[in-house]
Amino acid sequence: MTNKKRFDWILLIILFSYFMILLDNSIIFTGTVKIAQDLNLNQQTLSWVSSAYSLTFGGFLLLGGRAGDLFGRRRVFEIGLVIFGLGSLIVGLAVNAPMIIAARAFQGIGSAILAPTTLAILMDTYTGPARVRAIAYYGAMAGIGASVSLVIGGVFASLLTWRVGFFINVPISIWMFTLAIRYLKADRGQTGRLDWVGTITSLIGMSALVYSIVGTWMQVPALILAIVMLGIFVLQEHRTAQPIMPLRLFADRERVGAYIGRFLYLGSMLGFWFITPQLMQNQLGFSALMAGVAFFPLTIVNFIIALQVARLTAKWGNGGLLVTGIALTLIGMFWMSFFTVTIGYWLGIAAPMVVIGIGQGLSLSPFTAAGVAHTKGTDAGAASGVVNVMHQLGGSVGLSILVAVQGLSNKPLVGFRQAILTGSGLLLFALLAAIFLIMPGEKQH
């Protein structure tokens, strides 16, 4: 009984910490208008409030994942909480553009440490059916957290202030830190040293790659720098005895399929989460609060389905569940591409959201499970880092693509429909990755 209770506390620490990261990734979407008004930010400066976070989050993820393997999960997790909590406090207190952008970048480093470390702690703590169930909840949190964040962001921005969304992380971080000391076992990590060449080249390469996507000038030179640095990084990982990202992670067909599929799936979903609230505000006259609440059909269904994932995985297998989930998400997304003001919210947005919610609930947990499948304990942090890199990079790339497609048309509604169709295309490729890589890879084992 005591053991079960202990595991429950550990799962609470993992899920709450992950939720904090997701909250700050999405809360910006519904709070941007108010932030711009309060701090007198123009559109270009405002975009950096989100981009600065994405830049350091994406850049430090591989380092964050490997650091837990080498220096001990609990110690690295606690460092991540301190950085994230302090960053959140400074964001909430921000009085000008440089302060909020710098604080968001600092906060992103905390997220880059927490995201892979929480998943690695999960892998260390649970085995067998308990691990399947824990991964199901962790994967479900990715979808639920992002959707709920839109609602919470709308509530805070409309009824209180956008600052509350960041201040709330401070007591949660302190609570998580206290629970970590009490319930997470202290581990010394592995013997070995950090691959400094790999660390620096991955940091510069990943940051430059994210900048080439979200930046506003010198994007081509940034992309060239990213290609050169990531090329050196891969060569270094091939040569060194203690890589920050072991290339053997990519020798497994199931994991490779999960990385590609997650990249494409999150690209589609993040674009959807970003442009849909804007559509509801611009075309249907919804307030920021109502646009957030309008995501409830997706959020509630997602939550209900996610609780069934562990049971359904035992029945259909991880790959079968994933193919079903991606296919349903694709159907819901394609349905939404027919939206017009005449069709209205209930049939044009809410109904397809229900289908997307079912698909999302069935997809994100199996993606996570496949991404860390068949890894040894020594590689758990590195594998978790790659899963989160694909999540973050896929989201940034997909969001940029969908926003660019939306901007090609002078008519906002036509632009929205084209963007949603593009998102459907990304989901189709994710489905093919699941059918031709993940399912055969799962059968091999």
Residue given tokens 């319930």 in the structure block? 183
- Spatial separation of the C-alpha atoms in residues 12 and 136, rounded to whole Å: 14
154, pLDDT greater than 70: yes
pTM: 0.86
- Spatial separation of the C-alpha atoms in residues 189 and 156, rounded to whole Å: 40
How many Cα atoms are found within 13 Å in the side-chain-facing hemisphere of 357? 23
Instruction: Give the model confidence (pLDDT) of 407-431 as tens digits.
Output: 888 888 999 999 999 999 999 999 9
- The H helix count followed by the E strand count for the chain is 19, 0
- The region of weakest confidence among 136-145, 195-204, 401-410, 427-436 is 136-145
- Spatial separation of the C-alpha atoms in residues 26 and 22, rounded to whole Å: 6
Q: 222 Cβ partners below 8 Å, 6+ apart? A: 208, 209, 211, 212, 215
CB contact at 8 A, 181 and 82: no
Letter for the amino acid at 37? Q
Residue given tokens 């693509």 in the structure block? 401
Burial (CB < 10 A; 0-12, 13-18, 19+), residue 435, is: middle
**Is the dihedral angle over the CA atoms 403, 408, 413, 418 positive or is it negative?**
negative
Please give the structure tokens belonging to residue 153.
């962001």
Q: 404 Cβ partners below 8 Å, 6+ apart? A: none
CA angle 262, 113, 195 (to 5 degrees): 95
The pLDDT of residue 189: 67
Burial (CB < 10 A; 0-12, 13-18, 19+), residue 400, is: middle
Q: 251 Cβ partners below 8 Å, 6+ apart? A: none
- Spatial separation of the C-alpha atoms in residues 309 and 311, rounded to whole Å: 5
Letter for the amino acid at 24? D
115 or 261, higher pLDDT? 261
Instruction: Give the model confidence (pLDDT) of 350-371 as tens digits.
Output: 999 999 999 998 998 899 889 9
- The region of weakest confidence among 129-143, 164-178, 193-207 is 129-143
Q: How confident is the model at residue 51 (pLDDT cuts 50, 70, 90)?
A: confident
Q: 287 Cβ partners below 8 Å, 6+ apart? A: 154, 158, 281
Instruction: Give the model confidence (pLDDT) of 210-261 as tens digits.
Output: 788 777 788 899 999 999 999 999 999 999 988 888 899 998 999 999 999 9
Please give the structure tokens belonging to residue 105.
């970048």
1, pLDDT greater than 50: no
Instruction: Give the model confidence (pLDDT) of 292-327 as tens digits.
Output: 788 889 988 988 888 888 889 888 888 999 999 999
| DSSP codes of every residue in 27-59 | HHHHHHHHHHHHHT--HHHHHHHHHHHHHHHHH
